[in-house]
């Protein structure tokens, strides 16, 4: 957020250091009247998206679990997972060190600040300060995390355990991502390794999102409605609700369930599946009482990977819905156009 649009009394570019001093939402955060959250409908539904038990995915229950994943991808674009194999201690350390980072003195956090989107490790705010017209009520630390050895030296050295704790979490979530990508590939009737091979060398990013309490939560979003540009997202959130998913033209709040992850398919699965699976619109709300943290891990193709509908899913009744493109082109367009209810996949639709 440009400091001149928020206050003249601070030089901090971060929302976190300002939010507690505000009684009203600054004008550059206020959404148009027809695009504001209805906080009166902000209710939690623990059964709003399917919960899938992954126990036995590599054994006797694989076929049953893959069918449940297929149904969730086709009907929701989202699902929650239990018995996912990531140790509670690893998850707990990730949450703890993330909270510690955002509790550091402003001067220490700002060592990581940049609004240069090409930087692979950066602390920033909102979404894209250079292109957006309305700011979002969040600060975030974005990290590239695969291959780990290429990026870990860039990560914050404070808190002291940050690199160790986050690296351990990243390794476990990468293993989980690979299992889920294989299962989704099988659920489409493709070879288990089809999507894996389509992603090239693979990429893995993470965002640690911090949403401070907001004095007027009905005027703004933590993040407005959007779909994710990547392959799959694995979300860890704290016990404060805020994620909403669009289901049957209604926004439903995903209630945080202990020891689960939330998984959603991204635009690249929609393209590879030739529209059999659709990436779902989702958004983040804020509230005026509690801070919220969410930690999404984005599993991505490598920038030079060529993405398009799987040939096995194209026939006379199901023509190709998309042209082939390099993922780098897709990602560039996503960041520059901003978060939008019209998804970025529309730019790559095959012509009629």
What pLDDT, in 10s, does the model give residues 297-338? 999 999 999 999 999 999 999 999 999 999 988 888 776 666
C-beta of residue 68 within 8 angstroms of C-beta of residue 50: yes
Beta bridge partners of 122: 142
The dihedrals phi and psi of 306, each to the nearest 5 degrees, come to -95, 120
> What integer is the mean pLDDT of 38-55?
73
- Bond from prior residue into 147 cis (ω within 30 degrees of 0): yes
Q: How many structural domains is the chain composed of? A: 1
CA gap 185, 177 in Å, rounded:
12
Beta strand pairing status for 51-53 and 78-82? parallel
The residue to which tokens 């998913």 are assigned: 245
CA distances from residue 49 to 177, 199, 288 in whole angstroms, order as listed: 19, 27, 26
DSSP H or E segment with residue 108: helix 106-109
CATH assignment of the domain containing 167: 2.60.120.330
**62: confidence class by pLDDT, cuts 50, 70, 90:** very high
C-beta of residue 220 within 8 angstroms of C-beta of residue 136: yes
- Bond from prior residue into 161 cis (ω within 30 degrees of 0): no
- According to the model, what pLDDT value does residue 272 have? 97
CA gap 241, 293 in Å, rounded:
10
- Lowest model confidence (mean pLDDT) among 17-21, 179-183, 218-222: 17-21
- 269, two tokens: 């699965």
CA gap 234, 232 in Å, rounded:
7
The dihedrals phi and psi of 315, each to the nearest 5 degrees, come to -155, -170
- Bond from prior residue into 159 cis (ω within 30 degrees of 0): yes
CA gap 7, 181 in Å, rounded:
45
Residues in the chain, total: 352
CA gap 139, 266 in Å, rounded:
22
C-beta of residue 12 within 8 angstroms of C-beta of residue 20: no
DSSP character string of 200-257: TT-EEEEEEEEE---S-GGG--SEEEE--SSSEEEEEE-SS--EEEEETTEEEEE---
DSSP character string of 53-99: E-TTTTTTTHHHHHHHHHHHHHHTSEEEEES-S--HHHHHHHHHHHH
- According to the model, what pLDDT value does residue 2 have? 40
The residue to which tokens 């860890």 are assigned: 236
DSSP assignment letter at 31: P
The residue to which tokens 């939330």 are assigned: 262
Evaluate if residue 16 carries a pLDDT over 90: no
- According to the model, what pLDDT value does residue 46 have? 47
Assessment of whether the complete model's pTM goes beyond 0.85: yes
User: Of 324, 320, 315, 317, nearest to 352 (Cα)?
Assistant: 320
Model confidence pLDDT, tens digit, residues 256-282 = 888 999 999 999 999 999 999 999 999
DSSP assignment letter at 128: -
Residue numbers of the domain that contains 133: 3-348
Beta strand pairing status for 223-226 and 51-53? unpaired
Model confidence pLDDT, tens digit, residues 110-160 = 999 998 878 999 999 877 666 678 889 999 999 999 999 999 999 999 999
């Amino acid at each position: 957020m440009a400091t001149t649009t928020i206050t003249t009394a601070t030089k901090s570019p971060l929302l976190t250091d300002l939010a507690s001093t505000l009684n009203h939402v600054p004008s550059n955060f206020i959404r148009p009247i027809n695009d504001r959250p209805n906080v009166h409908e902000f209710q939690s539904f623990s059964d709003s998206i399917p919960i899938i038990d992954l126990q036995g995915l590599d054994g006797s229950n694989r076929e049953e679990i893959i069918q449940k994943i297929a149904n969730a991808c086709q009907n929701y674009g989202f699902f929650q997972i239990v018995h996912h194999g990531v140790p509670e201690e690893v998850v707990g350390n990730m949450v703890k060190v993330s909270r510690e980072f955002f509790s550091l003195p402003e001067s220490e956090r700002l060592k990581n600040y940049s609004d240069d989107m090409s930087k692979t490790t950066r602390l920033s705010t909102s979404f894209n300060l250079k292109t957006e017209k309305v700011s979002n009520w969040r600060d975030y630390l974005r990290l590239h995390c695969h291959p780990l050895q290429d990026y870990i030296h860039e990560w914050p050295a404070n808190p002291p355990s940050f690199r160790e704790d986050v690296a351990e979490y990243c390794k476990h979530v990468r293993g989980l991502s690979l299992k889920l990508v294989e299962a989704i590939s099988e659920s489409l009737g493709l070879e288990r390794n089809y999507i894996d091979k389509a992603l090239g060398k693979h990429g893995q990013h993470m965002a640690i999102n911090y949403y401070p309490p907001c004095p007027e939560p009905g005027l703004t979003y933590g993040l407005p409605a959007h779909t994710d540009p990547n392959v799959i997202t694995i979300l860890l959130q704290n016990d404060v609700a805020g994620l909403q998913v669009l289901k049957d033209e209604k926004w439903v709040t995903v209630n945080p369930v202990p020891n689960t992850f939330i998984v959603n398919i991204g635009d690249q699965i929609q393209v590879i599946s030739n529209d059999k699976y659709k990436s779902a619109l989702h958004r983040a709300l804020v509230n005026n009482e509690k801070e919220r943290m969410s930690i999404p891990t984005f599993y991505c193709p490598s920038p030079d990977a060529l993405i398009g509908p799987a040939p096995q899913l194209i026939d006379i009744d199901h023509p190709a819905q998309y042209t082939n493109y390099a993922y780098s082109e897709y990602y560039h367009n996503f960041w520059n156009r901003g978060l939008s209810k019209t998804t970025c996949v529309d730019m790559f639709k095959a012509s009629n």
